[in-house]
Amino acid sequence: MIDTHSHLFDEAFQLDIKDCIERCREVNINKVILVGFSHQTNQQAFELAQEYPLFYPTAGLHPSEASKNYKEDLLYLEEFIKKHKIYAIGECGLDYHYGKDNIHEQKKLFQGQIELAIQYQLPLIIHMREATQDTFDILKEYKGKIRGVMHCYSGSKEMAEEFIKLGFYISLGGPVTFKNAKEAKRIAEEIDLKSLLIETDCPYLAPVPYRGNRNESSYVLEVAKQIATLRGMSVQQIEEITEQNAIKLFSLEEKI
């Protein structure tokens, strides 16, 4: 099983990262994607992945990093990508939850990373919050040239199908286990399994029965269990299918 979105480099894991890794082994997790979101966390993800073979790092700039310095930031990111083996660009995207004051910079930073993904032939990890239409419109312009994943997807099933048509996987996390998450459950039940990934987004968004606590990669098992229940399949089947999908998207056999 693979957790396709984790931030185990976060200080929340400083004291017990080895225990977290051990718990991953106990539930049969053999790969974890460590997702960077700023210059500092890109470096942290890379360093942790050097230390532990379980980890596969990415590098990206989250929309909360968007500022007037986006051009310099993109150049710095490109230098990082050239020098470090990473498995995806992201997380990147659009986030209007805290307002649209910097919408221009957010879009520029996002588009710049899409262009890097094309140039360096890497998949994209997309963060999208309260910005579905703009995210879709931007990605659509690059149709046929990009692939990736809509991380911790929380939109409608209909839009999920549209993102799949653009070459994206749909990744479900802890919220699919929440009682009131009707749409996420519908997506888990109905979308083509070929397009499904699972993740934790730890340390955030812990699934039931850990809701409200620190999340960690081993809890991705709860996400797999929920999807298996909804689809009337075995957990093992969901684990295997989503693992193969992740290996394909991120070219995971290649770690040397």
User: Which positions touch Ni ion (CB under 5 A)?
Assistant: 201
CB of 91 to Ni ion, least distance (A): 5
Whether the CB-CB separation of 122 and 86 falls below 8 Å is answered with yes
Whether the CB-CB separation of 197 and 149 falls below 8 Å is answered with yes
Cα–Cα distance between 174 and 53 in angstroms, integer? 25
Q: Among 159, 229, 240, 155, which residue's Cα sits nearest to residue 198?
A: 240
Closer residue to Ni ion in complex, CB, 149/191? 149
CB of 224 to Ni ion, least distance (A): 19
Judging by DSSP bridges, how do beta strands 31-34 and 55-57 pair with one another?
Answer: parallel
Closer residue to Ni ion in complex, CB, 7/185? 7
CB of 202 to Ni ion, least distance (A): 9
Please give the residue whose beta carbon sits closest to Ni ion in the complex: 201
Cα–Cα distance between 206 and 201 in angstroms, integer? 8
Closer residue to Ni ion in complex, CB, 201/222? 201
CB of 155 to Ni ion, least distance (A): 16
Closer residue to Ni ion in complex, CB, 134/201? 201
Count of Cβ atoms closer than 10 Å to residue 51 Cβ? 9
